[in-house]
Each structure stands twice: as structure tokens, then as C-alpha cells.
């Protein structure tokens, strides 16, 4: 059965620091992988997606993610976090199944 695990419920980073949000999945084949961001009181917006090809994908707002088949992971990264990145982040597998989310707090 498909499943998505985001091990970190809440992460706090300082503004300007680097960020990595973890996502692990269970899927029968190479999945379609997505990261979405949700600002408070809003719907979800796509950050980036991976279907095939280059395992390092670039997204909006300076985010990137790397697909690692051997680790069944699709971790989201950003080199330098801005205060406006504070939000909840969701990993999705197969486009329809979502992880529980990771809430990001940014310290000034």
C-alpha cells in the first residue's frame, strides 16, 4: 500500500539558515512525488514535483528536492530560509496521498 511519512512534525530554524524537510514513501513503483506548501488559512500550493529524469528538481521560492530511490526519500531543501517561508509543508506520493505535514517556524 502507498504511504508517506514526514518524520518531523515541527521544525524551527533561524532566518538565513539552511533547511531540510524529510519525506519517506512506500510505493510499488517509481512514484510521482510532490511537495506542497500551505500558508495559514490558505489552500495548498505546489512547490515542485518529480516524475522522472534528473533526481534533483528545482521549484519555486528557491526550494529544491532530491529523489533517492535507494532510500525511498524525497527531501525538500532550501539553502537560506526567509521569514516568509514559515508555513506547513506537505509531501505527496502518487499525487493523491499526503504526509501528515511539517510545520516550519522561522526565528528572526
Give me 20's grid cell: 531540510
Taking CB under 8 A as the binding criterion, the range among 13-21, 35-43, 59-67, 72-80 that sits at the site for another protein is 35-43
* CB 3 to another protein: min, Å: 11
Which residues ranging from 3 to 22 are in contact with another protein (CB under 8 A)? 4, 6, 9
CB 91 within 8 A of CB 23: yes
Distance CA 97, CA 18 (A): 27
Q: Does position 75 bind another protein by CB under 8 A?
A: no
Give me 83's grid cell: 521569514
Q: Does position 99 bind another protein by CB under 8 A?
A: yes
Distance CA 46, CA 59 (A): 9
Q: Indicate which single residue of 12, 26, 30, 42 sits in contact with another protein (rule: CB under 8 A).
A: 42
Give me 24's grid cell: 519517506
Which residues ranging from 43 to 62 are in contact with another protein (CB under 8 A)? 43-46, 49, 51
- How far are the Cα atoms of 2, 4, 30, 68 from residue 20, in angstroms, in the given order? 23, 17, 22, 14
Residue nearer to another protein on the CB measure, 8 or 15 = 8
Residues that bind another protein (CB under 8 A): 4, 6, 9, 32, 34, 36, 41-46, 49, 51, 90, 92, 94-101
Amino acid at each position: 500500500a502507498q504511504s508517506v511519512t514526514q518524520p518531523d512534525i515541527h521544525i524551527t530554524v533561524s532566518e538565513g539558515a539552511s533547511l531540510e524537510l524529510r519525506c519517506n514513501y512506500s510505493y510499488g513503483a517509481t512514484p510521482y512525488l510532490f511537495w506542497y506548501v500551505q500558508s495559514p488559512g490558505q489552500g495548498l500550493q505546489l512547490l515542485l514535483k518529480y516524475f522522472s529524469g534528473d533526481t534533483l528538481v528545482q521549484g519555486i521560492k528557491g526550494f529544491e528536492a532530491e529523489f533517492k530511490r535507494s532510500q525511498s526519500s524525497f527531501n525538500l531543501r532550501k539553502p537560506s530560509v526567509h521569514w516568509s517561508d514559515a508555513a506547513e509543508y506537505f509531501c505527496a506520493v502518487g499525487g493523491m496521498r499526503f504526509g501528515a505535514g511539517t510545520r516550519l517556524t522561522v526565528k528572526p
